[in-house]
Homo-oligomer: A and B are copies of this chain.
Amino acid sequence: MRRSDEAGTARREEILRRATELFLNEGFAGTSMSALAQACGLQKASLYHHVPSKEALFIACVTEGYNRELAALRAIRDDAALTDDDRLRHAMAELYRITVDSPVGRMSPLIAEVSLRFPEAARAFHDGFISQEHGIVGAIIARGLENGSFAPHDHLGIEHLIFGPVVTLALSRRMFASHPALEETYPVARVRDSHTAMVLQLLRAGTAMPDGG
């Protein structure tokens, strides 16, 4: 890739970074190009030299953010030195880190905001990120099942049981960031550890399967 390509310049990367920050804090419609220009120390017109439109900017923020996060998750999936239990533990810890801390992981409410107006953003987020995450965790569980570490279970139910609390915790912490008891009510480490232990308990014991899941 040439140095002057669309995705390459340092200025553009800074714009994407600042824009992601603003979108996460103010929403899509609540983020103005003027505010973004100010955050970048530029005039508004200069932004349009780097980005064709606000919508294209948003799509770029979504699609260029998740590759690094997924790489870390894939590395855990492929780590042959771990036991099946520990591999899932590590993956869930990584899921919590991604979903609570990373920009792309915190983007779900944003996607919900814009999904009706440009479904392509939602589609990119689902295919490039959510569905990848589910696939990686699914592979980790399938491996444990083949090895006999985990008992037969309802795949769909376990999948939602793994991802549900993580996403909701991140959403709650964002919604109620100003709540005085935030850390007591929504503590990341305690929820993560308890959640992980219960998922492993279910996987080892097996769960009822409604209809051949």
Partner-B contacts on A (CB < 8 A): 25-30, 108-109, 111-117, 119, 122-123, 125-126, 130, 154, 156-158, 160-161, 163-169, 171-172, 174-179, 187, 190-191, 193-195, 197-198, 201-202, 205, 207-208, 210, 213
Contacts and interface: CB of A to CB of B under 8 A. Distances in A.
A166 B163 CA distance: 11
Contact of A166 (B112, B113, B164, B205): B164
18 contacts: A28-B30, A29-B29, A29-B30, A30-B113, A30-B117, A109-B109, A109-B113, A115-B175, A115-B178, A125-B175, A126-B176, A157-B198, A160-B168, A161-B164, A167-B168, A167-B171, A194-B213, A202-B202
Q: Is the interface of A mostly helix, strand, loop or mixed?
A: helix
Contacts of A210: 190, 193-194
Contacts of A179: 122-123, 126
A161 to B, nearest CB: 6
A109 to B, nearest CB: 4
Given A113-B109, A166-B164, A205 B195 contact: no
B194 A157 contact: yes
B194 A156 contact: yes
Given A116-B177, A130-B176, A160-B168, 16 more contacts: A27-B27, A29-B29, A29-B30, A108-B109, A109-B113, A109-B171, A115-B175, A115-B177, A122-B175, A123-B176, A125-B175, A156-B194, A160-B191, A163-B168, A164-B165, A198-B202
A169 B176 contact: no
Contact of A194 (B109, B177, B195, B207): B207
